[in-house]
Structure 1
Amino acid sequence: MTQIAQTLSQTSGETAGQASDQPASSWADAAEQRVLDEALRLAPKAGWNAGLVSRALAAAGLSDAEGQLLLPEGPRDLAALLSRRHDAVAMGNLRTFDLATLKIRQRIREGVVARLDAAQENADVLRPLAAFLAFPTNLGLALRLTWESADMIWRWAGDVATDENHYSKRAILSGILISTLAVDMASGRASALSHLDARIDNVMAFEKWKAGLKPMDLASEMVGALARMRYGK
C-alpha cells in the first residue's frame, strides 16, 4: 500500500469514528485489491495503461481523486500490486512443502514453478503487462518486482546470506525467473521446465555465478524476456 493510501485509510477510519474493529489500513488495502480485480478483467482488451486505471476505478466504485491517493503512479502501482499478489499466492503454495526433504536445487526449482503457476492464473493479462513494463521508463520497476520475487523464493528456501552473496543470488535468480516466464508464455510449460533445469544446472556452482555475473546482464535479459513475453516468440 502506498504512503498516501495509508494516510487516506487513516483519515477514513477517523471519519467513521473507528467503528470497525479492522485496522485503519484495511480500507485502502481492500480498495486497491478491488481496483486490481477490475483491472484484470479489463486489461486483455484495454491494455495496461492509464486508461485501464480510470476504467478499473470506475468499475470498483471509486473516484479519480481516490484513485490518485490509492495509486499515485497509476498503472505502475497496479503492476506492483499484481506482482505482489502473485508472490503471495506462490508463497502460500510453497508453505506446503517440507523443506527438510528438499535439496537447495529442488527448493529453487519449486520456488520458480510456484511463481510461474501464480502468474498463469492471470495469463490473459501478461502480454499487455509485459508491453507496459518493456517501456524504458518502466524497466527499473520490472527489475525491482522480479528482484522481490527472487528474494521471496530465496528466503523461503532458507537463505540467510547477508554479504555480497545475498545480492548475487537474487540477481541470478531474477534472470532465471523472467526468462523462464517468457519461455512458459511463448512455448508452454514443458519447454519452460527444460529451460529452467538447464539454467539451474549452469549456476548451481556459486563460484560460476559470481564469475559469470556482469552488471548489465540482468537488465539485458529483462529487456529480451519482456519482448518475448509481449510478442510470444
Structure 2
Amino acid sequence: MTTSYETAKTQLLDAALAHVPFDGWSEATFQAAIRDTEVDPTVARAICPRGAIDLAIAFHRRGDDAMQASIQSEDMSGMKFREKVAAAVRWRLEAVEDKEAVRRGTTLFALPMYAVDGAKLIWGTVDAIWTALGDTSDDINWYTKRATLSGVYSSTVLYWLGDDSPDAMATWAFLDRRIDDVMQIEKAKARVRNSPTLSRLMIGPNWLMSQIKAPARMPKMDFPGSWTAPRD
C-alpha cells in the first residue's frame, strides 16, 4: 500500500518531535525522523524540501487546526467579543503538547533567513482566529485587526514560554492585560471619530485608508501543474 503525502508527513513530524528537544528543528532531527519512520529519504525530501524547517511549519499549523476545532466545538454564545479572542489565543497555546518544540521553533524563526516564515505563521494564526470568530471586515480594519492581534499573540507566546505558574495562570492574566491595552486603543479611536474637531482633521487620512481593501481569498482548487497526493 502506498503511503499518502499527508500520512508520511504526519509520521515524519511525530517522529521528529521526539528529537526536537535535543537537536532542535535541524537536519539531524530530520534524518532521525526518516530513520525512525523508515520513509524513503527521497520521498521524505520531496515531502519536505527544506527538511525540518517544513516540519516546524507543519507543527505550527497542526496547532492552528486544533485551535480552530476548539473554536468550532465550544459554546461561545455567552462571551463578549474580547473574551472570545482571549479564549481563542488560550486554546491555541493549550493545543501545544510540547512547549520545548515551540521554544525551539521560536529560536528557529527568529533567525534572519527564516524570519519571513515565522511572520507568515503568526499572521496565519491570527487570521484563522479572526476568520473563525466571524470577522467580515474588507477594508483597512482587516489588516489592523490582524496586526494588533499578532502583537498580542507573539508577546503572549514569549511570556508563556517562561511561565511556570500553576496551569499557566500568569500567562492568562498577561493575555487579559494585553487585550485590555488593545481595547484602550479602540476607545481612543472612537473618541477621535466622535470628536467634531478631530474627526475633521482625519477626513483626508480616513479617505486614503478607505481605499485599502482586504485581499481576496482564493478558493481551494487544483490548478494546472499542481499535484494532489494519492489516496491510500
- Equivalent in the alignment of 1:50: 27
Deviation at 1:207, TM superposition (A): 6.6
Alignment partner for residue 90 of structure 1, among 61, 67, 81?
Answer: 67
- Equivalent in the alignment of 1:172: 148
Q: Decide whether the 8 Å contact of 1:150 with 1:173 is kept in 2.
A: yes
- Equivalent in the alignment of 2:127: 151
Structure 2 counterpart of 1:110, which letter? A
Q: Decide whether the 8 Å contact of 1:168 with 1:209 is kept in 2.
A: no
Q: Decide whether the 8 Å contact of 1:133 with 1:142 is kept in 2.
A: yes
Q: Which structure 2 residue ranges, 5 or more long, are not aligned?
A: 193-232
Secondary structure, aligned partner of 1:187: coil
Deviation at 1:187, TM superposition (A): 2.1
Instruction: State, as a whole percentage, how many aligned pairs show the same letter.
Output: 28
**Cα separation, 2, equivalents of 1:97 and 1:62:** 37
What does residue range 74-153 of structure 1 map to in structure 2 within 5 Å? 74-119=51-96, 121-153=97-129
- Equivalent in the alignment of 1:198: 177
The count of aligned residue pairs is: 187
Alignment partner for residue 36 of structure 2, among 52, 59, 62?
Answer: 59
Q: Decide whether the 8 Å contact of 1:99 with 1:157 is kept in 2.
A: no
Structure (1 or 2) with the larger CA radius of gyration? 2
Structure 2 counterpart of 1:141, which letter? D
Deviation at 1:209, TM superposition (A): 7.8
Higher helix proportion? 1
Q: Decide whether the 8 Å contact of 1:43 with 1:125 is kept in 2.
A: yes
- TM-score computed with the length of structure 1 as normaliser: 0.74
When residues 207 and 139 of structure 1 are mapped into structure 2, their CA distance, relative to the original with a 3 A threshold, is farther
**Cα separation, 2, equivalents of 1:78 and 1:207:** 41
Structure 2 counterpart of 1:191, which letter? A
Higher RCO by CA contacts (8 Å cutoff, separation 6 or greater): 2
Deviates more, 1:89-98 or 1:65-74: 89-98
Q: Which structure 1 residue ranges, 5 or more long, are not aligned?
A: 1-11, 17-25, 212-233
**Cα separation, 1, equivalents of 2:143 and 2:173:** 26
Alignment partner for residue 6 of structure 2, among 14, 29, 38?
Answer: 29
**Cα separation, 2, equivalents of 1:124 and 1:160:** 36
When residues 208 and 118 of structure 1 are mapped into structure 2, their CA distance, relative to the original with a 3 A threshold, is farther
Write the deviation string for residues 199-232 of structure 1: whole angstroms up to 9, x where unpaired.
1011124375899xxxxxxxxxxxxxxxxxxxxx
C-alpha RMSD of the superposition:
2.1
Q: Decide whether the 8 Å contact of 2:25 with 2:53 is kept in 1.
A: no
